[in-house]
Amino acid sequence: MKVKTKKGIRDMLAVWMEDDAVKMIDQRYLPEKLKLFIAKDPDDIHKAIKNMVVRGAPAIGVTAAYGMAQASISWFDIGKAEKTIKSARPTAYDLFHAVDHMRVKIKEGVDPLEAAHDYALSVINKCMAIGEHGSRLIENGYRILTHCNAGALATVDYGTALSPIRVAHDDGKDIFVYVDETRPRLQGARLTAWELFNEDIPHTVIVDNAAGHYMQRGEIDIVIVGTDRIAANGDIANKIGTYEKAVVAKENNVPFYVAAPVTTFDPNTENGMAIPIEERPSEEVLNLNEKRVVSPGSTAKNPAFDVTPAKYITGYITEKGVYSTDDVVIMFD
């Protein structure tokens, strides 16, 4: 991804491994500060994922893969490393897929660092392909709505939902992006807008509740979001608020697409209601900039994700092409 600095534009990955350490952009400090987090063992990997130093299903998967490689290289107990890393967050399927993939590779005697690098490269290549396929859905002059952050920060490079937008922009299409702020952690306002700024893609940030207003007025032509897990019937789990956007998009005849690599499909989960939904600390809702904004006697609930039923989804943009819900069900049949 492009990152504008005082010394010029840098080309960076969200996560990489260097000198037996897993390094990643600490997303908690963006956009105010570009800071790195260095993980030296599986416990650090667990903390990085759980505390959202790194986030986004593909990036979490790559971080987990590097964590398993790191554990193997340092002779850390692989079984313990697996449990530690998998326990970080419950919803993103890529986390479990990556750990299982690395466990098999390590058991087969494959060099763990090489296996992790290959896994990371495969994620990047898939995101590039998602961009190529998805950009064909974006016509010149389109106004696009996103929710949360599904860009390079969430996927190591390129992104899922943002990848088609980047490709369309690079192809010279005149596009404009509406960025949902995405409460309570503001991943849209803090991260997606930061990525679009660095890529010089025209955009504006809107409050979460404004999306329906702009759809109703015909000012949004397409919605593209990422996802953390896709069930066998095509239901998805994505950042809280996605379900509402999908319902409103359907009501206003706005196409609603989900962008994700095939590794995000979970054939073992029958439908969206079977996807575990992470409940995050209530302080994220009760406080703003570490200052309480809710009355002392009030409490808060904070689900990190919601489930969007397949009936509201126009299609799935993957590295293999764009699929309908029926195509997805056939894939798992």
pLDDT in tens, 127-149: 999 999 999 999 999 999 999 99
Does 327 have pLDDT greater than 70?
yes
Contact 324, 250 (CB under 8 A): no
Do the strands 321-323 and 315-318 form a parallel or antiparallel pair, or are they unpaired? antiparallel
Check pLDDT > 90 for residue 17: yes
CA dist 140 and 291 (Å) reads 43
pLDDT > 90? residue 289: no
Task: Verify whether residue 180 is a known catalytic residue.
Answer: no
Residues 46-76: tens digit of each pLDDT = 999 999 999 999 999 999 999 999 999 988 8
Please choose, from the candidates 66, 50, 62, the residue with its C-alpha nearest in 3D space to the C-alpha of residue 17. Answer: 66
Catalytic residue, chosen from 41, 157, 180, 228, is: 228
Q: Give yes or no for a contact between 161 and 151, defined as CB atoms under 8 angstroms apart.
A: yes
- In the chain the first and final C-alpha atoms are separated, in Å, by 37
What is the tens place of the pLDDT at every residue in 307-321?
A: 999 999 999 999 999
Q: Among 40-44, 75-79, 96-100, 105-109, whose mean pLDDT is lowest?
A: 75-79
- Weakest mean pLDDT among 41-50, 182-191, 323-332: 323-332
Q: Per-residue pLDDT for 248 more than 90?
A: yes
pLDDT at 26: 98
| For residues 264-268, average pLDDT | 91
Distance CA 160, CA 151 (A): 6
Task: Decide: 201 and 171 in contact? Cβ < 8 Å.
Answer: no
Domains (range + CATH), the chain: 2-125 (1.20.120.420), 137-332 (3.40.50.10470)
What is residue 333's predicted lDDT score, i.e. its pLDDT?
60
Half-sphere exposure of 302 (CA within 13 A, CB side): 14
Closest CA to 285 of 183, 215, 204, 197: 183
Q: How far apart are CA 190 and CA 110, in angstroms?
A: 39
Which whole number is the average pLDDT over 223-237? 96
How far apart (Å, rounded) are the C-alpha atoms in residues 273 and 271?
Answer: 6
For strand 229-231 and strand 265-266, is the pairing parallel, antiparallel, or unpaired?
Answer: parallel
Taken in order 279, 282, 283, 287, is the CA torsion positive or negative? positive
pLDDT in tens, 151-199: 999 999 999 999 999 999 999 999 999 999 999 999 999 999 999 999 9
Q: Is the N-terminal amide bond of 31 cis, ω within 30° of 0?
A: yes
